Structure 1
């Protein structure tokens, strides 16, 4: 997607392998399995590349803003779309435990999809980089989302490219 990408082959490998792993792991083990390569590698819908791209998009935003999180900062957001992301992030430890208790990685994959979708909705409606009193809070929420997306992908054995 990005003509200026330095390590195209590495990213292509990470996305291709990640797509197959993610597709396999997001399938509930009690359901049947259909191998659909076109669906696996799509950047739309419930796929690994969709989650990887959400992560890479956040990294791009954070690079543009030169954002570094501060532990002592007082972040504050009160819009509904921010709250949806915050609730998902807060639920992540429970999701991990549920997946482990049930030996069911699809729980983590479906969570990652939900978080990526929530962030993409937020991104579509919020001017994250615009100068405003909420700018640092929006960037902090983006950063937290990226941390959780990367960890969810890591738990599934899928790389999270910084750029795509």
Structure 2
């Protein structure tokens, strides 16, 4: 170890005390100091973080959009696979309405108001309401969250029942004898 230390000390003592540049550098340094900072091109170290931030933001945005698209697509599939509670309610209301209409129809046969002249416009109105209600029902199956369609459908059903009940109060023309 002493031999290595002695060699090192000898090399240090032989080394020059100052190192002089091969050419004069001070003029170049002065010119750089006098330049305005705006004239200097931005160094690449400053450009990289901006590029990296932009790239990271773009990737996050892309992943977010793809995730939302997949999530919405899965939501559509799950609503198609399982019937929604609104559609089940819709079918239940339709069934109840049909039962009410059947009960009123049985009473109609007892009073026979359809045979009177006053029953024809009422019968036409009921038929139009039934057609409208069926079209609204089909639209509701496509968009069960539409409150206005629900209200319109329920109104047509209620109006049909009201017209059937009005038919019960119409005067009856008895059928002529021999018919």
TM, length-normalised to structure 1: 0.34
Whichever structure has more helix as a proportion of its residues is 2
Using CA pairs under 8 Å that are at least 6 residues apart, name the structure with larger relative contact order, 1 or 2: 1
- Which has more radius of gyration? 2
TM, length-normalised to structure 2: 0.31
